[in-house]
Every structure is written in structure tokens, then in C-alpha cells.
């Protein structure tokens, strides 16, 4: 198993707000959450770190970034022990977050109704909802509560959909399937906790673009991943 550290670069550090009842966080909520960011924003409210800055970060080192973050008081922005689809390939991009929880019938009923009210895709699994909101330069970061068997948030088809939208890849505190096929997608990379041939089962998406936990890291929408 290949293990390596991953950094989540926090661009802001405001107080957390009460979590909205929406599945997808409204732009106003994201803006309030990331109020210390004074630069450009995406239509969904996320801070939009410039492409030039992403290129500069691509050429940085783990030590440089970690030193900078520690000096700014960001002490919980690194998570280690990953299975990496393509070791040695650095991945930098803007974060879209998603949280998945163990399914229960009443939660499923609420999420399905709320997803319908928000106009989310009702054809196929709910695990496509975060993928639907991705844009160029995004990295899909999801808390799958470490589930491996039946916790595969994407396979080759959805992985290619992610890459087609973003030109990047995924960071999952969970698992994926079809690793060999995904290795053949040039430019796509994945940092996950494991892989399994099973399909996703008994998992419910409860938020998109709200704060999530990835191991020892708190991740905000609009943060930057350096992996």
C-alpha cells in the first residue's frame, strides 16, 4: 500500500455557522462561512483562487506549504496514509466538498425530497449530485466516513465524468472501484482510503459545499488541495 501526506490549504478561518438544511449550501452561506476571503468568487459562493496561484502551488514543496500554514495558525490541515491512484503526480485545485453518512430510512426520505426541491438529478444514484456541480479546476473532496466495502463513491464512469468537468481528480475519505480503468484516464488522480469491487450501498449525501472532516482536517468549500 502506498502512503503519503496530503495538504488541504485553508484560505480563510471564520467562525463556523449553523449548518443549513439544504443539501447544497446556498451561495450566501458559503460567502458568510468564508467571509475573510476578499478575492474573486465562483457563482456558488466559493472563493476562487486564481489559476496563476494554482500553477505556483503546483511547483511548491510539502515543506514550504506546511511551514506557511503553521506560521498562519493553521495546524490541522494535513492528513496522511492514503492509497494513491498515480503516485508521484501532484494534484492542485479548488475544493468542492461533499459529506456522506450511513443511510437510514428517514434520512433517505428527507434527502430525496430535498434533492428534488433543489432540482437535483433524480435519475441514477445520489452520489452523482456532487459531481453535477463541479467546474474546471475543481477537486472533488468527500467524507465517506472511511467506508471501503460498499463505500465506492465513484467507478470508472463517474471518474471520467469528474475528469471531464474538472481536469483534476478526487480526494475521498472512503473508497473507489475500477482502479485499473481509472489509471488509464490521463490527468485524473485519486487519493482514497481504499478500493473495492463493490458498488456504493447504504450511503446518503447530506451536504454539498459545507464544511467537512477529512481525518484530522477541517475542509471548507473553496479551500485548495495540494496532494
Q: What is the DSSP code string of 44-78?
A: TS-B---HHHHHHHHT--HHHHHHHHHHTT--S-E
CA distance 225 to 227: 6
pLDDT of residue 205: 98
Question: Is residue 18's pLDDT more than 90?
Answer: no
Average pLDDT in the 39-43 region?
97
Average pLDDT, the chain: 92
Q: What is the distance of C-alpha 47 from the center of its chain? A: 15
Average pLDDT in the 189-212 region?
98
Question: Is residue 52's pLDDT more than 80?
Answer: yes
**Which of the residue ranges 11-15, 144-148, 159-163 would you say has the lowest mean pLDDT?**
11-15
CA distance 140 to 161: 11
Q: What tens digit of pLDDT does each residue of 95-150 get?
A: 999 999 999 999 999 999 999 999 998 888 999 999 999 999 999 999 999 999 99
Domain boundaries, the chain: 1-227
Question: Is residue 167's pLDDT more than 90?
Answer: yes
pLDDT of residue 42: 98
Average pLDDT in the 22-46 region?
97
pLDDT of residue 17: 34
Question: Is residue 11's pLDDT more than 70?
Answer: no
DSSP summary character for residue 152: B
Judging by DSSP bridges, how do beta strands 78-79 and 6-9 pair with one another?
antiparallel
- CATH architecture for the domain at 1-227: 3-Layer(bba) Sandwich (3.50)
pLDDT of residue 9: 61
| Global pTM value | 0.90
Residue 21 banded pLDDT, cuts 50, 70, 90: confident
Beta-carbon count within 10 A of 172 CB: 28
pLDDT of residue 14: 38
Give the H/E segment covering residue 115.
helix 105-117
Amino acid at each position: 500500500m502506498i502512503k503519503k501526506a496530503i495538504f488541504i490549504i485553508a484560505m480563510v478561518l471564520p467562525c463556523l455557522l449553523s449548518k443549513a438544511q439544504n443539501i447544497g449550501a446556498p451561495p450566501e452561506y458559503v460567502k458568510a462561512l468564508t467571509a475573510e476571503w476578499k478575492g474573486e468568487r465562483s457563482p456558488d459562493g466559493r472563493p476562487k483562487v486564481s489559476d496563476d496561484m494554482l500553477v505556483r502551488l503546483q511547483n511548491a514543496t510539502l515543506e514550504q506549504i506546511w511551514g506557511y500554514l503553521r506560521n498562519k495558525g493553521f495546524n490541522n490541515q494535513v492528513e496522511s496514509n492514503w492509497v494513491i491512484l498515480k503516485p508521484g503526480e501532484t494534484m492542485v485545485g479548488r475544493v468542492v466538498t461533499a459529506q456522506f453518512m450511513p443511510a437510514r430510512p428517514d434520512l433517505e426520505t428527507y434527502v430525496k425530497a430535498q434533492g428534488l426541491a433543489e432540482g437535483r438529478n433524480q435519475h441514477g444514484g445520489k452520489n452523482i449530485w456532487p459531481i453535477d456541480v463541479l467546474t474546471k479546476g475543481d477537486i472533488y473532496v468527500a467524507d465517506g466516513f472511511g467506508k471501503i466495502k460498499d463505500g465506492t463513491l465513484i467507478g470508472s464512469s463517474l471518474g471520467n465524468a469528474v475528469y471531464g468537468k474538472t481536469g483534476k481528480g478526487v480526494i475521498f475519505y472512503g473508497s473507489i472501484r475500477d482502479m485499473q480503468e481509472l489509471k488509464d484516464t490521463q490527468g485524473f488522480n485519486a487519493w482514497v482510503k481504499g478500493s473495492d469491487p463493490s458498488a456504493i450501498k447504504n450511503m446518503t449525501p447530506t451536504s454539498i459545499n459545507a464544511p467537512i472532516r477529512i481525518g484530522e482536517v477541517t475542509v471548507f468549500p473553496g479551500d485548495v488541495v495540494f496532494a
